[in-house]
């Protein structure tokens, strides 16, 4: 199918919004109509080159903080069907490997092996192509700066359909990053005082994490 996406061709260049060709989902993959995508500072790091080596070779489709509706599922997909609402996870989590089973989905065997390639987990090839037929990589295997994308099911988290997708997309990165910085990185304990410097998307989520962890005063 044909859709549109924001493509980065080289470090230091501007994003190019253009028509792209999208292959159907293969085994374990889903086609998602993206309804909302956040703009994370990491996306700007792609342009400046601060994430060089950590993402797919260029050209690539940016964006890793998104939510949408499943349109089509490929063979062997478990737990998702057309019509489901999903939030993307910027690190795939299969839910079945030892790391996932022990509550450490950020260390998922599947995600760790496939993350730097920018290609599909299932077979290492691309589903996204320029109008001229050139393969496109995906930031964090997602490419949410597009109207549609094909991703592996392990990159999707099913959510209730009554949750607004323009809010839900922030759960893909900013909310969990900020909340986790207070609860896990800083290990805030009940009664402690907490200072949060900068209250953007991540800072606001850090405040919520600190409050839920029992902080007495949050400055």
What's the burial of 73, exposed, middle or buried (CB within 10 Å: 0-12/13-18/19+)? buried
Q: Is 140 assigned a catalytic role?
A: no
Residue 26, number of CB atoms within 10 A of its CB: 16
DSSP state, residue 92 = -
Are the CB atoms for 58 and 126 separated by under 8 Å? Answer: no
Give the Cα separation of 26 and 109 in Å (integer).
20
Candidates 37, 40, 56, 108; catalytic one: 40
3-class secondary structure, 37:
strand
Are the CB atoms for 81 and 73 separated by under 8 Å? Answer: yes
Q: Is 104 assigned a catalytic role?
A: no
Q: Is 155 assigned a catalytic role?
A: no
Give strand ranges (E) for the chain: 2-8, 16-22, 29-37, 60-61, 66-73, 85-88, 128-130, 137-138, 148-152, 156-159, 193-194, 217-218
Give the Cα separation of 152 and 121 in Å (integer).
7
3-class secondary structure, 144:
coil
Candidates 64, 85, 148, 152; catalytic one: 64
Give the Cα separation of 17 and 25 in Å (integer).
23
Candidates 37, 42, 181, 205; catalytic one: 42
Candidates 169, 173, 181, 205; catalytic one: 173
Which are the catalytic amino acids?
Answer: 40, 42, 45, 64, 173
């Amino acid at each position: 199918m044909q859709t549109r996406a924001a493509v980065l061709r080289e470090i230091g260049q501007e994003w190019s919004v253009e028509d792209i060709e999208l292959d159907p989902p293969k085994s374990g993959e889903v086609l998602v109509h993206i309804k909302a995508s956040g703009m994370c500072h990491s996306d700007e790091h792609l342009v400046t080159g601060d994430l060089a080596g950590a993402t797919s070779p260029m050209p690539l489709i940016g964006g890793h903080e998104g939510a949408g509706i499943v349109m089509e599922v490929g063979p062997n997909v478990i737990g998702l069907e057309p019509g489901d609402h999903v939030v993307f996870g910027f690190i795939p989590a299969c839910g079945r490997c030892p790391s996932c089973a022990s509550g450490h989905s950020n260390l998922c065997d599947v995600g760790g092996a496939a993350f730097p390639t920018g290609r599909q987990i299932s077979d290492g090839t691309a589903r996204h192509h320029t109008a001229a037929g050139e393969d496109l990589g995906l930031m964090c295997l997602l490419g949410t700066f597009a109207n549609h994308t094909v991703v592996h099911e392990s990159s999707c988290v099913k959510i209730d359909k009554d949750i607004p997708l323009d809010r839900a997309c922030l759960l893909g990165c900013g909310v969990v990053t900020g909340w986790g910085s207070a609860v896990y990185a800083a290990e805030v304990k009940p009664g402690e005082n907490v200072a949060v410097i900068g209250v953007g998307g991540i800072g606001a989520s850090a405040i919520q994490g600190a409050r839920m962890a029992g902080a007495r005063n949050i400055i």
